Structures are given as structure tokens and as C-alpha cells.
Amino acid sequence: MEFRLIGKDIRKSFGRLLVFDSINFELINGSSLAIAGKNGSGKSTLVKIIAGLLSPSSGEVIYQVDGREIDKLDWFKFVGFVAPYLQLYDEFTGYENLEILAKIRGLKSYEAKIKNVLERVNLYSRRDDLVRGYSSGMKQRLKYACALLHDPIVLILDEPTSNLDSEGVEMVWAIAEEQKKNGILIVATNEPEELKMCDEVINLDELKLKMKRQIVK
Amino acid sequence: MIWKFLLGVYIAIITILAFVIPIGFIPGLGERARIIFLHVPSAWLSVIAFFVAMIYAVRYLRSKNIYEDVKSAASAEIGFLFCFVTTVTGSIWAKFNWGSFWNWDPRETSIFVLLLIYGAYFVLRSAIEVEERKATLSAVYSIIAFVTVPFFIFIMPRIMPGLHPGSKGDPEGAGPVVTFKMDPNMRILFFASLLGFTLVYLWIFKLRSRMEILKIKIQNKIYQEV
Amino acid sequence: MLSSIWAIFLKDLKSEIRTRYALNALLMFVVVTISMILFATAGEVMSGELLSGLLWVVIFFSAMSGLSRTFVSEEDRGTVIFLQLATRPSVVYFGKLLFNLVLIFGINFFVVIAYLLTMENFKVKSFDVFLSALILGGLGLASASTIIAAIIAKANTKGTLYPVLSFPVLLPLLITTINMTQLSIEGAKLAETFGHLRILFSYFVVVVIASYLLFDYIWKE
């Protein structure tokens, strides 16, 4: 299956505030993209647009499978998403969260998959504890489990290593390597070290400078 | 400019004629029937305005162009204003014709519901700060509210008898004034007034939406310079 | 698609059973409102007609205090993205609608029991009319309040806004159900209320279809 993720002239403004303009990229299986920029530069906004959580003010994001465009309503089948502002249900256990997600997604024979992802993020021993009792690092690991549950083709990581210990950071790097074998990896971060996870970089700060120069001209 | 002046003269003439034109004798209403020249057209205007607001709401949801939302809100404001005018004029008239200011007659109930819906609509708009979100949510709300309004047409006759001239169950004397029995010159003036009110609506609507759009443009400009 | 809707419903139900956010408060709300009516009318003999109206006042405000929770809690806790990433908007809508349906039938059941126990003059003569008013009224109530809950969850002042926005939309429904309840006390036959039933049912259908078409716009920005 050949998957293509295309961004065409993406522009987003909130009311009068222009966040970014004319962002273009094209990703296929095995490619990866890092989105860099300072706090407030619009990294999260851009990844939300790519994941279909927000609509761009103009321009478009296209998901293509073997040259056929995917309806926006079905994007969720292809996307795995980890972000600090993604919250889990804290009245449920880690296992229940994954079970709920699997059922909502309509995954078949999900028990094995849940066990697999829980082991991958090293939470299997704590699977029956309420998420309320999890540390912030454990919650972050569980988010990875949720994102990987359906083997997404596009994995989007916003601030991938926030709250994680060194062992967790290693886990993230392993997941990123694994993802790049067949899928697409998108990482939004302001840590220079993490930019190395990806082959290409979009720097929103530099983009903004360019935009300003254009306005001055 | 010149047509606005002409419109002013036109409405002035209609207003004067509404009081002096001979309308013939209408049993049960008499001279009080003259309210039809001002009350019914303002109700008509508010319905048009709400309808236009609806259309722009749908257009906003399709295009996500904030100007469509501005127009929708502008039209809803005018509709609300004239809905209020209709209610007040009708209520005063009801005191003299039916004996009390408010009788929960079907049309009174319907207009009351319209006031409630658009009152809620403006409350909703003031409760959301983000412009796009405000536009989307109020558009959705106005559409949901709009699809439930027609139910009153089916419900009201079952629940209560009508008092308005022209409604079902109207006693013989008052007669369905609007549909027939209208004096020829009364009919002409009535439709002339409808036309006049429609033109007034178009004028205010254009003015209001242009003003709001200019406001947005000016703010955009200020923002870019800063 | 259907199994996903069911999964969302079960998730909400399980969460409600575990946290009891809405349920306990709702039951107390019903008790408080009915006691309020009892105190305010102490010693007065109230007609069945008046009591049928008051019944729906209690149901309306109880619904307003509980039905917004499904959306508001997702929005407040930031779990909206979890659902947005997991499925289509319409699946979420129908899951939540199902949950609110169950909740409103629970409320109706409890209110009616409490009402029949405390209001001596509330004697229902034709139970089939009364029951169909409750069931079809509950369907309509849940349909309209679900979509409005989705709207107010995104606004700033959620609590007060909810009844304000819901009332005009629900008014045609409430007028019809109140009238039906009065008829049931007068002992009308079910066949006589056929027109009412048709109104209630089509209200439900129209509101659900409109909500289904519009929900995408609310759910994702």
C-alpha cells in the first residue's frame, strides 16, 4: 500500500492572528517530518491540522492511498496521535482505556493487540490501575499505547518526550525508528536533539521571518 | 442616495395614508383594522429577516467565510428588532380589541417563541469569544431552532383557539380580513406598505452588514500595522 | 458503525456508574424540586391540569441539570481529542444520544414515581396516553438537549446557557406533552391523541436528522 500525505499551501489564522502561511510538504511511506519552532509558533496547531482535528483557514491536507484520496471523516483510521493536551479517561484503568478505544475503533481480536502495546510501552504490570493514580510519565506512555493500538500509518508526536524518564525517551526513539520503516512519522518539538528523529524539518520561526520580509517588500 | 430619499418619502406617505385612507366598515374591527398597515408588514419583515439570517448561517457553515456570519447576525438583529415592534404594537392593539395585552393566541405564542429563540441566539453569541467558534455554534443553533418552529403550526390549532383575524375559529363578525373582504384601496395600501417595509429592510441590512464588515477590515489593518 | 456507537454508550454508562457525576445530583434535584412544589402549595388543592403542567416543569429542569454532562465533561477534561481521533463525529453523536435517552427515561421514571406518591390529586385515568407522552416526550427531549449540550459545551457559561438555549427549541414538544398529560387525566382514549403522537414522533425524527447533519460542524473546528 502506497500512502501519501500532502500539505498544500496551508494557512491558519485565529481571528486576526496569522499563525503560519504557505506550508507545503509531501510525505510517503518511510519518510519523516519534524516541525520545529519556539513556544507559540504554531507547532501544535499545525499537527492538529495534519491530524484533521482543526481545519486550515486555507489550503488543504490530503491523505492518499494508492493514488485515491481518503475522505476526511476516515482519517482517524490512519492516524496515531500523542500530545500533552490529549487526555485519557482517568476513572478507567489503563487496560480499560485501551479496551474502550479498541471497541470504538471497531478493532477485531483486540486483546492480543492491547497486550502487545502495553508491553511495548512497559505498562503491562500496571494495566489494572486507575489512570488517576498514574504518574504523568505513565500517562504519557499510555498515550503511546493508545496511538499505536491500531498500527497507524501516520504517527504524529507533539512534544514526544515530555514527562518521560531516560528509559521512556529510549522507548520513544525505538518507536520512532520502528514507525519510519513502513509508515510516516511527524514530530513537533523544540528540542534540537529530537529533530534528529526525522529526515526533513519545517522550521516555523524561519517561515515567519520569511513572511515578515515579504510583507516589508 | 436619491433612492433612500425617495424611500423616506414613500414610507412617510404610507404612514399618513394608513391613518386617513377610507377603509370601509369592517364588522367587529372598525377603525382598529388600520393596524394592518403597520403591524403585519413589520411581522412580515421580521420573518424575512430571520429567513435571510438562516440562509447566511447555512452559507457560513459551507464556506467558513466570516463575512457570511456577520451578515447572518445583522439580519437576525433586524429581525429581532421588528419582531419586538410587532409584539408591542400587537399587544397594545389587543388591549383595545380583545381586552387584555396578552392572550396566548397562537400567533402571539409563535412570536413569543421567535423572541425567545433569537434572544437565546444573542446570548449564545455573547458567551463565545473565539470568532469562528461563535459563528459556527450560533449558525448551528439558529438552524436547529428554525426546524422546530414549524411544529407550532400543527400544534397550536389543537391546543388553543385563535383570536387573530383570519385564523381558524374566528367568530363570523371579524372575518378573515387578510384573505378577502378587503376594500380595494385598503388592499393596495397594504401591499404598498409590505413593499415599503421590505425595501427598508434591504436598506438597513445592507448598511448594517457593510458597517460590521468594515469594522473587521479596520481591525485587521490595525493588527497588521502593530 | 453500530458497534462503535454502542461502545461510546457503554463507555459513558460505565463512567457514570463509576463516578456518579450526574446521577446522584439528578436524583437529589428531583427530590428538591418536588419538595419545593409541595411547600409552595401547602394546603392548596391543585387541579389535575395544573399538576400535569408542573410535572413537565420538573422533568424539563431535571433534564437541564443532567443531560449536558456527556458533552461538558468531555470538554472540561480535555478528552474530546481522544474521541475525535478514534471515530467519526456521527458515531459520537449517536452514542451520546443513546446515553441521554437512557438517562432521560431514568429521570422520567423516577420523577413520575415520586410525583404519583406525593401529589394526591394527580390521578391518571388513561395510562396508555400518559405512557406514550412520557416515552415520545422523552425521545424528543433527549434529541434536542443532546445537540444543544454539544453546542454549549464549547461556550464559556455552560450551566446557565443550557436551559436558555433549550427552552425555545423544546417548547413545541413541551406544550404537546403537557396537553397530552392533561388529556390522560381527563381520561381521553389513545386514538384521540393520535395527532399529538404524530407531532412528538416527527419532532424527534426532524431534530435527530438536523443534529446528525450539523454535528460535524460543532464537533471539529
Per-residue pLDDT, B174: 40
- Which of A11, A12, A14, A16 best probes binding to B when mutated, by most B CB atoms within 10 angstroms? A16
**Could you read off the pLDDT of A112-158 as tens digits, one per residue?**
899 988 988 888 888 889 999 999 999 999 999 999 998 899 999 99
> Could you count the other beta carbons within 10 Å of the beta carbon of residue B13?
13
pLDDT of B170 over the 60 cut: no
How confident is residue B173, by pLDDT bands cut at 50, 70 and 90?
very low
C-alpha distances (whole Å) from B57 to each of A77, A166, B74, B144 are 31, 52, 11, 11
Per-residue pLDDT, A211: 62
- Going B137 to B139 to B144 to B145, the CA torsion angle's sign is positive
Spell out which residues of chain A touch residue C99, defining contact as CB-CB under 8 Å: none
- The whole-angstrom distance between A217's CA and the closest CA on chain C is 33
Chain B residue whose CA is closest to A15: B131
Q: Please count the residue pairs, one from chain A and one from chain B, whose beta carbons lie less than 8 angstroms apart.
A: 11
Per-residue pLDDT, B177: 40
Q: Please indicate whether, in this complex, the C-beta atoms of A16 and B223 are within 8 angstroms of each other.
A: yes
Q: Tell me whether C88 touches chain A (CB under 8 Å).
A: yes
Per-residue pLDDT, B180: 44
Phi-psi region of C187 (alpha: psi -120 to 50; beta: other; left: phi over 0): left
pLDDT of C140 over the 90 cut: yes
C-alpha distances (whole Å) from B135 to each of B57, B61, B203, C147 are 8, 8, 23, 16
Per-residue pLDDT, B169: 47
**Could you read off the pLDDT of B88-124 as tens digits, one per residue?**
998 888 888 888 888 777 778 888 888 999 999 999 9
Which of helix, strand or coil describes residue A59?
strand
How confident is residue B178, by pLDDT bands cut at 50, 70 and 90?
very low
Per-residue pLDDT, B36: 82
Q: What is the DSSP letter of C37?
A: H
Identify which of C37, B139, C76, B156 has the alpha carbon closest to the alpha carbon of residue A89.
C76
Q: Domain range for residue C130?
A: 2-220
**Could you read off the pLDDT of C171-199 as tens digits, one per residue?**
989 999 999 999 999 888 888 888 889 99
Q: Which residues contact B155 (CB under 8 A, 6 or more apart)?
A: C172, C175, C176, C199
Pairing relation of β-strands A184-189 and A32-36? parallel
Average pLDDT over residues A187-206: 85
Q: How many residues does chain C have?
A: 221
Per-residue pLDDT, B74: 94
Mean pLDDT rounded to a whole number for chain A = 87
pLDDT of A33 over the 50 cut: yes
d(CA C111, CA C105): 10
Mean pLDDT rounded to a whole number for chain C = 90
Average pLDDT over residues B137-148: 91
Per-residue pLDDT, C102: 94
- Per the listing, cell 456577520 goes with B70
pLDDT of A200 over the 90 cut: no
pLDDT of C113 over the 60 cut: yes
Average pLDDT over residues A158-164: 88
CB-nearest partner of A15 from B64, B131, B224: B131
Identify which of B43, B156, A73 has the alpha carbon closest to the alpha carbon of residue C86.
A73
pLDDT of A209 over the 70 cut: no
Q: Please indicate whether, in this complex, the C-beta atoms of A53 and C3 are within 8 angstroms of each other.
A: no
Q: Tell me whether B223 touches chain A (CB under 8 Å).
A: yes
Q: For chain C, how many structural domains are there in total?
A: 1
Which residue has better confidence, B226 or A73? Answer: A73
In B142-171, the residues whose Cβ lies within 8 Å of chain C are: 143-145, 147-149, 151-152, 154-155, 158-159
Q: Please indicate whether, in this complex, the C-beta atoms of B64 and A55 are within 8 angstroms of each other.
A: yes
d(CA C217, CA B136): 7
Q: Which cell is A25 given?
A: 510538504
- Which of B111, B144, B149, B160 best probes binding to C when mutated, by most C CB atoms within 10 angstroms? B144
CB A148 within 8 A of CB A156: no
The one-letter code for the residue type at C110 is F
CB-nearest partner of A101 from C18, C81, C86: C86
Per-residue pLDDT, B160: 60
Listed in sequence order, the DSSP H helices in B64-169 are 66-97, 106-126, 131-148, 151-159
Which residue has better confidence, C219 or B104? Answer: C219
CB-nearest partner of B219 from A14, A16, A55: A16
Per-residue pLDDT, C158: 74
Per-residue pLDDT, B158: 62
**Could you read off the pLDDT of B60-86 as tens digits, one per residue?**
999 888 899 999 999 999 999 999 999
- The whole-angstrom distance between B103's CA and the closest CA on chain C is 16
d(CA B60, CA B182): 42
Q: Please indicate whether, in this complex, the C-beta atoms of A104 and C91 are within 8 angstroms of each other.
A: yes
| Residue A61, strand partner residues | A7
pLDDT of A213 over the 70 cut: no
| Residue A3, strand partner residues | A65
Which residue has better confidence, B181 or B218? Answer: B218
Which of helix, strand or coil describes residue A139?
helix
- Supply φ then ψ for residue A163, to 5 degrees: 70, 0
How confident is residue C92, by pLDDT bands cut at 50, 70 and 90?
very high
Average pLDDT over residues B51-59: 93
CB A144 within 8 A of CB A121: yes
**Exposure b/e, C130-160, CB count within 10 A at least 16 = b:** bebbbebbbbbbbbbbbbbbbbbbbbeebee
The one-letter code for the residue type at B137 is L
Q: Tell me whether B1 touches chain A (CB under 8 Å).
A: no
d(CA B61, CA B141): 12
